[in-house]
Structure 1
Amino acid sequence: MDAAPTEPLTADPALVDALRADLSAAGFTVPGVEDLLGPVAAAALHREEPVPALLATRGEDPRAALVRTFVLGVPVPAGDLARALPTLGVAGAERLGLVAAAGAGGEDDVRARVDLRPYEAEDAAGPVDWWVASDLGELATGGALRTDHVLGVGGASTTLAQVTVREPSGRTLDLGTGCGIQALHAARHSEVVVGTDISARALGFARFNAVLAGIAPRTLDLRLGSMLEPVAGEAFDLVVSNPPFVITPRAAADVPTYEYRDGGRTGDAIVSDLVTSVGSVLAPGGVAQLLGNWEVRRGESWDERVGAWLDASGLDGWVVQRELQDPAQYAETWIRDGGTTPDRDPAAWRARYAAWLADFASRDVEGIGFGIVVLRRPADDVAGGPRLRRLEEVTGTVRQPLGPAIGASLAAHDWLRRRDDAALAAERLVVPGDVTEERYLRPGDVDPQIVLLRQGGGFGRTVQAGTALAGLVGACDGELTVGQIVGALGALLGVDAAAVAADVLPEIRGLVQDGLLLPA
């Protein structure tokens, strides 16, 4: 039996409708599967350990047949799968390309040709509950991935979905759509979603998943091609991309390249090129959000390198570095990701490990950063103001989904860009409900030595406030203008109001930018 389809799945609407009804009736959902497996087996499965899940799915529950077939990739008797898919049937599943049967009998083995599992997430537009098909992974196949492997939903995919700004969009581009998960999220708030990929097989999975999710055919336009080539000359309100950003040795013959993760360029050129060129397809006010890796080379900080890309883009730019790995950690991560391990193939492991390290050494790479890139073409009414250029490292816990916080920060930047200091002083501000204040005093002191403003949502920022700033924030209840509060503080502190304004207004701008103060 063929373990993986060489052609895209068949997205026959009637058969997919039957599949959807059966999966729903069986309770093949994220909570349903976790309930079936129990916490121990579910946690082990997340670690790619299948044995507890195999033991937990030996019963006659229809969810057990579905998990064994489509998640664990083990053969099941046709009768068991038929009971789990009573409307579609095994024959219907074969016609869709989901399974291959060894025979027509109820005891004949049926084996999955694809991975099909429930997907549950929450983005800025609210919760989603779908099923997503992709290629079977290493856990199911027991071997290294094929180079044209179509990846399912991973941690990077989920991260991008959660950080994406979900404003109503006329046209959205999902660049490198893969199995189509970003396109599905975007279809909920976009009139048209264009998904591009260099892999025809990936587009086949994306088309199937869109039909399974009930996305109207007129909403999704899938195109074959590399990077921005299929959409040259077009304009989009939103561009999202989880591009093939993995930095893979190019000169080593024994290092396989995978379409879903390797962009075919040396070093971090694929991300650099995307950052500097995506503005060509952004409409005024349009936002691009992507994930990426970048090299940190000897004698150069990460923000210098990535900052040069932002400058070359001519766009508003905001980069958040979430993780930094050394070359050895990075090599281990991605060699394992392709299915090569030191116990399974020690010779290949050593050769590929050495090739990765040699490649990084050839460019004096000391670290590899991972993070989120947000780019925007300013709207026409603010195009002449100061650009947003922000590069920061945030490695701690954040409150997902971050999309609302990122969108609010972009809007705040525009609000501030339209106001000089005099106009800002005439505004009334309020403290949002998630911001708290902490004061640290020595025993017996009346005045605190340290005042911290803490943000409960979004990036969870903490700002240390001086006496004047803490007093101003404490008075921001929407009744008085910033200028009136500054004047009162000057009188209270015995300081000229102009000096107080010069001290706190830049900090006020930072607090508004980050959402610790809001326009009333």
Structure 2
Amino acid sequence: MSSATSGSPRIDDALVARLRDDLTTSGFTVTEVSELLGPLAGAALAREQTLPARRVALAVDSPVATLVRLFTLGDPVDVAEVERALPTLRVSGAVALGLVAEEGDAVVARVDVRPYAADDRSWWVASDLAELATGRPVLDDHVLGVGGASTTLAAWTVRNPVRRALDIGTGSGVQALHLGEHAESITVTDLSARALAFARFNALLNEVTWDVRQGSMLDPIAGERFDLVVSNPPFVITPRSGEIPLFEYRDGGRAGDAVVADLVRGLGEHLEPGGVAQLLGNWEIPAGTTWTERVSSWLDGTGLDAWVVQREVQDPAEYAETWARDGGHHPGTADFDAMYAAWLDDFASRDVESIGFGIITLHRPAVEREPFLDLMDVRTPVATPMGEAVRVGLEARVWLAEHSDDEVLDRVWSAPQDVTEERHTRPGSADPSVIVARQGGGLGRVIPLTTVTAAYLSVADGELTPRQAVGAIAGILDLDAAEVEREVVTFIRDAAKDGLLV
């Protein structure tokens, strides 16, 4: 395990260019690392168990194995091995960049450098060494690399081409790397000077350009507007007590869920008409209330469309356990127990019964109208990535908000190929007792069907308008045409918003 203290990478164009060339030549990619480790060691490493990966890497003499031992596992590595893995940068160049330190005949990492791939693109991301590499809890100014929250946000982000994009709380710059694929200009902000040092380094390493600004949340972009805003903010609900270390990457310095609430309330003035903001968040659910009441109160008066998907709910004990472990503390220790108790006391002081986690998508209407609010609880598996489904769903919701029922009835709709119908019949019964439409992709929605809506869905083939179909359905089922029309319109509005009708 590394004994070097953590540092920040330094900017040197020539040396970073050599590092980039060496990482490329060494084949330090996600694919090569995965092939080196294999499924067993790779899965163990994802669970923060290093032994299988260490055994594999020690048994292989290759630049990739050397770089994994050095930067991922935090092991001391012989100088000669590092020189072979970084033949143009050399150990001296890596020391000059603040990436490693020499300890006798060995080299130890001072930062984590690892490959990252998504959206058919590959990058490298430098960040602070993880607890699995250092063997000790992380420091309060720890800068995260690629984590579960960052990949979740990236997977849900709409990837329409935009002129100006903003990443609030950029950390090491993971979201900004993704934005580079579809944004003409990118602004990144963070309160942490160390985080911005990593962001600048990663931009240079990956040959991209960002407008980097230091400041809290929305402060650095006062008076400016963007077409797309993304944020993995410091959303963790942390007691304001001395029992719990305050980590810059997760703690926003506010009580309860105020960080996310204030961000939601303030984003509207920074979105261009038609602009979109997407962020992760936690929200408290006090006893006697619902998560929808909590989150909807944040949107009052903002004038923004909002589509919020709750993906997880934890009770206060589960939440405390999750985040006490996150900083590198372990159950059974005095520190862990003290933090656990502080979280329980904090939630009890506000009568919090549970805590929700989800993805918030905001949209500034381009025309004057009543904004829509759609709050969904979806804790089942969804498509990966979700960005395209979110794009389709957002465009559908905007269209539905801006068009009347008559326009819905006069538009031709069809069910995509991933939508299937299921009929469940009790033994001996001639007619189904349950009919549902099931979505294979996207949110994987399942919508109960009535005889009327099942009949409409069966003819939603892209040729008939609902108005044309309603008359035939009413006649066949001997029902009032106006009632059938209302039922069909309600069904279309529900199904179309999530892509079960297009």
Structure 1 gaps, min length 5: none
Tell me the residue number matched to 1:258. 247
- The answer (yes or no) to whether the contact 2:100–2:107 under 8 Å persists in 1 is yes
Please, which of 344, 353, 362 is the counterpart of residue 375 of structure 1?
362
- The answer (yes or no) to whether the contact 1:288–1:374 under 8 Å persists in 2 is yes
Question: What is the SS of the residue equivalent to 1:430?
Answer: coil
| Larger CA deviation: 55-64 vs 269-278 | 55-64
Alpha-carbon shift at residue 290 of structure 1 (Å):
0.5
2:157 matches 1:164: yes
- The answer (yes or no) to whether the contact 2:98–2:110 under 8 Å persists in 1 is yes
Tell me the residue number matched to 2:437. 453
| Larger CA deviation: 429-438 vs 220-229 | 429-438
| Larger CA deviation: 157-166 vs 433-442 | 433-442
Question: What is the SS of the residue equivalent to 1:484?
Answer: helix
| Larger CA deviation: 418-427 vs 109-118 | 418-427
| Aligned amino acid, residue 205 of structure 1 | F
Tell me the residue number matched to 2:221. 231
| Aligned amino acid, residue 269 of structure 1 | A
Alpha-carbon shift at residue 402 of structure 1 (Å):
1.0
- The answer (yes or no) to whether the contact 1:5–1:113 under 8 Å persists in 2 is yes
| Aligned amino acid, residue 413 of structure 2 | L
In 1, Cα distance between equivalents of 2:70 and 2:382: 36
Aligned residues: CA RMSD: 1.5
Residues 269-288 of structure 1: matches in 2 within 5 Å?
269-288=258-277
In 2, Cα distance between equivalents of 1:92 and 1:246: 38
2:128 matches 1:135: yes
Alpha-carbon shift at residue 214 of structure 1 (Å):
2.1
2:212 matches 1:222: yes
| Aligned amino acid, residue 13 of structure 1 | D
Residues 86-165 of structure 1: matches in 2 within 5 Å?
86-102=87-103, 108-121=105-118, 126-165=119-158
Tell me the residue number matched to 1:433. 417
2:411 matches 1:424: no
Tell me the residue number matched to 1:301. 290
- The answer (yes or no) to whether the contact 1:4–1:114 under 8 Å persists in 2 is no
Question: What is the SS of the residue equivalent to 1:21?
Answer: helix
Tell me the residue number matched to 1:339. 328
- The answer (yes or no) to whether the contact 1:9–1:208 under 8 Å persists in 2 is yes
Query: Can you list the C-alpha shifts for 1:52-97, whole angstroms capped at 9, x where unaligned?
Result: 1111111312111101100001110110011111122112212221
2:7 matches 1:23: no
Alpha-carbon shift at residue 414 of structure 1 (Å):
2.2
| Larger CA deviation: 429-438 vs 311-320 | 311-320
Tell me the residue number matched to 1:68. 69
2:378 matches 1:394: yes
In 2, Cα distance between equivalents of 1:51 and 1:443: 55
In 1, Cα distance between equivalents of 2:359 and 2:261: 13
Tell me the residue number matched to 1:321. 310
Question: What is the SS of the residue equivalent to 1:429?
Answer: coil
Alpha-carbon shift at residue 128 of structure 1 (Å):
2.3
In 2, Cα distance between equivalents of 1:355 and 1:464: 44
Aligned length: 500
Query: Can you list the C-alpha shifts for 1:249-305, whole angstroms capped at 9, x where unaligned?
Result: 10x223210100000001111011111111121111111111011111111111111
| Aligned amino acid, residue 147 of structure 1 | D
Q: Which runs of 4+ in 1 moved over 3 A?
A: 442-447
In 2, Cα distance between equivalents of 1:208 and 1:409: 36
| Aligned amino acid, residue 358 of structure 2 | G
- The answer (yes or no) to whether the contact 1:160–1:290 under 8 Å persists in 2 is yes
Alpha-carbon shift at residue 15 of structure 1 (Å):
2.2
| Larger CA deviation: 417-426 vs 261-270 | 417-426
Tell me the residue number matched to 1:494. 478
- The answer (yes or no) to whether the contact 2:169–2:188 under 8 Å persists in 1 is yes
In 2, Cα distance between equivalents of 1:257 and 1:50: 27
| Aligned amino acid, residue 114 of structure 2 | R
Distance 1:350 1:417, change over 3 A: closer
Question: What is the SS of the residue equivalent to 1:57?
Answer: helix
Alpha-carbon shift at residue 17 of structure 1 (Å):
2.5
Question: What is the SS of the residue equivalent to 2:441?
Answer: coil
2:490 matches 1:506: yes
Q: TM-score, normalised by structure 2?
A: 0.97
Alpha-carbon shift at residue 446 of structure 1 (Å):
4.5
| Aligned amino acid, residue 420 of structure 1 | S
